[in-house]
Homo-oligomer: A and B are copies of this chain.
Amino acid sequence: MNIKIAIADDHQLFLKSLSLLIAGFNGFSIVAEAVNGKELLDKITALPVQPDIVLLDVNMPVMDGPKATALLQKQYPGIRIAALSMKENDTTIITMLKAGCCAYLLKDIHPVELEKALREIHESGYYHNDASNVNYRRLILQSEQQETITEREKEFLSLACSDLTYKAIAQKMNVSERTVDGYREILFHKLNVQSRTGMVLEALRRQLVSL
């Protein structure tokens, strides 16, 4: 019996190429292809038999990786989900792991390693390459102690991602300069930075704001 794989990735070229590659592995077959999470869920629902493993891109339009993972987990707890991403980004990995995926694969993985990973997931239910294994504990810990950022702070953060001075930001937020100074101070601590530039960069990395 072949190992049944479903793939979702918003880049059609990659989706089709990867599909072809995996179909070429001995003992594997592709049962569904989709360009976003929603399409994948629909296709899986329509299948007579569930796939064994779902390969899920993290960043997709319509429905992204974490959301699709959560829904899949709920509806089909038997399906193993592996995240597939370009970014070795801590917060992204945490989000996917927390959502319930059993592996986080990078897109620059070698095909041979991918095949190995897929077999391992199918047999043991999980796979971690050295890199993510080493960091796994740290990441989970980090996610647990992750500071929460309030609405008002987020508002300040988006305004800080601009040419505006703190004075101008204070006016836009209808508070005193001292107050935004307080936001700055608390965010420096929460994001572990010591300058506005660092704060902006960290906010972008954590995708608290977008470019």
Contact = CB atoms under 8 A, between A and B. Distances in A.
Interface stretch (A44-52, A68-76, A200-208): A200-208
A129 interface: no
6 contacts: A14-B108, A16-B111, A35-B108, A160-B197, A162-B197, A200-B201
A188 to B, nearest CB: 10
How often does this chain occur in the complex, in copies?
A: 2
A13 B114 contact: yes
Interface residues of A, number: 35
A211 B91 CA distance: 14
A139 interface: no
A160 B197 CA distance: 8
Interface string A16-35: 11101100100000000001
Given A201-B211, A204-B211, A111 B162 contact: no
Nearest to A17: B17
Contacts of A197: 160-163, 196-197, 200
A141 interface: no
